[in-house]
Amino acid sequence: MRCIYYKPLMTKKLFLKTLGCAMNVRDSEHMIAELNRIERYDLTQDESEADLIIINTCSVREKPVNKLFSEIGQFVKHKKKSAKIGVCGCTASHLGEEIFKRAPEVSFVLGARNVSKITQAVNSEKFLDININYDESEYVFGEFRQNPYKAYINISIGCDKKCAFCIVPHTRGEEISIPHEIILSEAKKVAKNGAREIFLLGQNVNNYGRRLSNGKRGELNFSQLLTQISEIDEIERIRFTSPHPLHMDDEFLKVFASNPKICKSMHMPLQSGSTNILKTMRRGYTKEWFLERAQKLRDMSPDAAISTDIIVGFPGESDEDFEDTMSVMEKVRFEQIFSFKYSARPLTTAAQMTNTIDDKTASMRLKKLQDRHAGLLDEMTPNYKDRVFEVYFEELRENKMVAGRTSQNFTVCVDGSEELLGKIKNVKITRPQRLILYGQVV
C-alpha cells in the first residue's frame, strides 16, 4: 500500500494599509485576492505578525505623501525581521525609484496601474514597475470584497481630463473604459453572491465608453451601462463615483432621475465657483453652467442629495473668486462637501503658477466655507425628523447600533444586531444630527 503524506500548506500573513479614494480600496481588494489565490496569503490586522506589509498610497494632496516615510519607519520598527514591505498606488507611481532611496527597507514599488503584477513584485528580490501606459483594463482579478453588501466594480481606469491641479492623470494614466461585457458579468456574479448594492468606480465615470483598450469607442455610454446594470434582478441599488459635471447631459440626468434602482445621491465636484478660476483649472465649465446643471438635477430629482468637492486657495484665487464659490454653495445647498486647501502637486501645470495664495488666507477661506456649510446643514437637518427613509444596513457600530445608508447616502443608525446587515428597511428618523440620522425601524 502506498502512503501519501500531505504537507500542511502554510498560509502567510498580509497586512495591508489603504489610503485615499474608493479606487484605491478596490485596488487593495484586487491585491488581496491575487495574493490569496496565488500565494496563499491571509489578511492580518496586526503588522507585527505579518510576512508582507503593503501600503497602498494616495498622492492627490501633499500630506499623505509626507506621512508615507514616517509610516514606513514605524513598520520597519515593529515588523518581523523577515517581513517584506511594498509600496503601491499613486505615490508609488509618481515617486518610483526615490522610494527605494529614501526607504531602503522597501522591497517593491508598484504603480497604481500595475496592480495585476502584485505576485511578481512579491516574489522578486527588488521590484519596480510604475508604467502608466500599462493596460490591465481587461485583466480578470481574483474575487475578494471587504464589504459583501456593497460591491465595488471598476468601469474605467485613468483620466484624460488633466485638470491643472490634479496629479491623477500622471499616476493612473490615460482613460480606458472596461468593456461592458466584463462589467455586466462581474455585476451578475456579485449579485449572485449576495450584494444588493453595486458601486461603480472610475475617475470620470460619466465619460464611460470614450475609449476601449483597442482605441475604439465603447458600445455603451454611461447612461446605457446604468440601465443595463439595473436590469439585473438581484441588484436593488446602484451608486457611482466620480462623475464630472461636464458630462452631466440631459440623457444622464434623465436616467439618474427616472431609474428607481439608481441611488439619489449625485457627486458634482465643483472645485471652484469662479468662472475665471475654473478656466485656469481647466475644468471645462463656467459657474453659470454648473448652476444650471445643478438646478436641472434638483428639478428632475427633487429627492436627490448633491455632494461636492471644493478647493480653496488655488493660485490666483481673489476674495471675489472665493465669494463666487461661497455663492454657488449657497445656491445649490450641497448636502455634503469635501473641501480642501489647494496643495501644489508635482507634474501638474498648476504647480508652475507663481501667483500662489498664502497659507493663512487659504486656511481662513477653508474655515469660512466649512463653517457656512455646517450652518446650511443645521438648516437642513431638522427637516429629516419623522421622515421615513429606506436604509440599506451594512455595518455594526458600537453600543449595539447598526448603520446603513439611505438612497441619498445619508448615514442612519438604529438599535439592532447582525440580522439587519444586508437588508433594506424603512427607518423613521427620531433624532437627526448633522452627520448621522438616528432612527427606528418601522
Residue nearest to ligand 5AD as judged by C-beta position? 309
The interface with ligand 5AD within residues 341-360 (CB under 6 A) comprises 342-343, 345
Per the CB < 8 A criterion, the answer to whether 327 and 368 are in contact is no
Q: Is the preceding peptide bond at 28 cis, omega within 30 degrees of 0?
A: no
Give the one entry of ligand 5AD, ligand SF4, none that residue 204 binds, where binding means its C-beta sits below a cut-off of 5 to 8 angstroms depending on kind.
Answer: ligand SF4
User: How far apart are the C-alpha atoms of 202 and 182, rounded to whole Å?
Assistant: 15
Nearer to ligand SF4, 99 or 166 (CB): 166
Task: Name residues whose C-beta falls within 8 Å of residue 138's C-beta, 6 or more positions apart in sequence.
Answer: 178, 179, 182, 213
With CB under 5 to 8 Å by kind, the binding choice for 332 among ligand SF4, ligand 5AD, none is none
Least distance in angstroms from the C-beta of 238 to ligand 5AD = 21
CA separation for the pair 346, 357 (Å, rounded) = 17
**Which x/- pattern over 372-411 shows residues binding ligand 5AD (rule: CB under 6 A)?**
----------------------------------------
Spatial separation of the C-alpha atoms in residues 75 and 69, rounded to whole Å = 10
Nearer to ligand 5AD, 127 or 340 (CB): 340
The site for ligand SF4 (CB under 6 A) is made up of 159, 161-163, 166, 168-169, 203-204, 244
Name the grid cell of 240. 457611482
Query: What is the closest distance, in whole angstroms, from the C-beta atom of residue 24 to ligand 5AD in the complex?
Result: 11
Q: Among ligand 5AD, ligand SF4, none, what does residue 241 contact (CB within 5–8 Å per kind)?
A: none
Please choose, out of 37-45, 65-73, 76-84, 340-348, the segment that lies near ligand 5AD by the rule CB under 6 A: 340-348
Cell numbers 488666507 correspond to 361
Instruction: Closer to ligand 5AD by CB, 14 or 350: give it.
Output: 350
* Smaller CB separation from ligand 5AD, 60 or 248: 60
Residue 291 beta carbon to ligand 5AD: minimum distance, rounded to whole angstroms = 18
Q: Is the peptide bond before 318 cis (omega within 30 degrees of 0)?
A: no
Which of the choices ligand 5AD, ligand SF4, none does residue 222 contact, using the CB cut-off of 5 to 8 A by kind?
none
Specify the amino acid at residue 440: Q
CB 420 within 8 A of CB 393: yes
Report the alpha-carbon distance of residue 276 to residue 280 in Å, rounded: 7
- Do 427 and 442 contact (CB within 8 A), yes or no? yes
Tally of CB atoms within 10 A around 143: 14
60 binds ligand 5AD (CB under 6 A): yes
Q: Please, which of residues 161-200 interact with ligand 5AD by CB under 6 A?
A: 165-166
Decide if 435 contacts 411 (C-beta within 8 A): yes
Choosing among ligand SF4, ligand 5AD, none, which partner's interface includes residue 61 (Cβ < 5 to 8 Å by kind)?
ligand 5AD
CB of 391 to ligand SF4, least distance (A): 30
Exposed (0-12), middle (13-18) or buried (19+): which is 352, by Cβ within 10 Å? exposed
Are 392 and 197 in contact by the 8 Å Cβ rule? The answer is yes
Which of 209, 245, 269, 432 touches ligand 5AD by CB under 6 A?
269
Radius of gyration of the chain (CA): 23
**CB closer to ligand 5AD, 36 vs 241:** 241
Which chain residues interact with ligand 5AD by CB under 6 A? 60-61, 165-166, 269, 271, 309, 311, 340, 342-343, 345
